[in-house]
Amino acid sequence: MSELKTLHNEVPYEMTRKIADGGMGLVYEARQKGAGGFSKSVAIKIIREEYSAIPEFQKNFIGEARLVADLIHTNIVQTYHLGQANNQYFMVMEYVDGVSLEQFLEKHRELNQPIPVEIAVFIISRVARGLAYAHQKCDDQGRLLGIVHRDIGPKNIMLAWEGDVKLTDFGIAKALDLMYNEEGKVIAGKDEYLSPEQASYAVTDGRADLFALGIVLTELLLCKNIFRAPDRLDSRRNILTMQIPRFGDLRVEVDEKLEALIQRLLKRDRDKRFQTSHEVLTELELYLYSDGYGPTNEKLGVYLRELMGYAPPGSRSPLNVPMTRPQQN
């Protein structure tokens, strides 16, 4: 907790609790105070103390802050400020009151309860929406930034109690002139969520994020990551060589239309994969809403609160909201 003690008296925020603990960084919930009794919940991200003096980590942390400062989208966690205290950088971000997709999955595993197919697809469609925005983002000279997140996974997707879905942690993203990057020499990302390009040390583009999106979608549908192995090298080997199953054989609710969509997301040859996140978003929304009825943020919020047993203070959660399409006669 030394990082928290270091910042406590140096920044205009009341640090309250640790909410995330990553390999190189920590995230705390804090209260931002202002005039007239103003108070706002924020999240503060800092580099672990042992990494804070290493130039490449500092450069990447600053690069992440500069990158996400202008990523203003409802499906991306917003960054408000980059500061420095006692030679340690910190980032002030939007606080998402809810749970991570990892916690959402863990709750379903604990209950031995499958995630409704349309809820799974809806969550992934919102992440695709955020990626579609990020992948096309340009700098103030109109140059495409070429953003690739490279770390799409359940830990980095947040679900707010109201049903908003937000992508976070661009800490190992690559982008034009902004991020420290040794692509081709090192593997960036978690082994069981890598694209084949990442797993084979190839240079990536936005299509790498789409393969990872396919992995997360199948994990939501099956409540397990089919590529994960006890050994990291085996996870990578599975990404590169394991036979991709028919998911309709593993879960009967996966129909042919969704099967085709998943199989295309998981094409190892990226030229045969979906080519843009816009294309993925369109196909996901056609799947969800082609008959005019489908999930919404509000329905996801109801499902999430009931799943987790959470009632927001002073609110009433509407019950009996249908989670799936009405049966056709």
User: Catalytic residue numbers?
Assistant: 151
Distance in angstroms between the alpha carbons of the first and the last residue of the chain: 60
What's the burial of 34, exposed, middle or buried (CB within 10 Å: 0-12/13-18/19+)?
Answer: exposed
Token pair, residue 50, equals: 């042992």
Sign of the alpha-carbon torsion through 17, 219, 125, 318: negative
DSSP 8-state symbol, 184: T
Question: Measured between alpha carbons, how far is residue 154 from residues 130, 225, 269 in Å?
Answer: 15, 11, 24
148 - beta bridge partners? 174
Q: Find where tokens 């992934």 sit.
A: 124
What count of residues does the chain have?
Answer: 329
Q: Find where tokens 């606080």 sit.
A: 95
Element (H, E) at 8: helix 2-8
Distance, in Å, from the CA atom of 73 to the CA atom of 87, rounded to the nearest integer, reads 31
Nearest Cα to Cα of residue 153 among 222, 69, 217, 68? 217
Phi/psi at 82 (5° precision): -115, 125
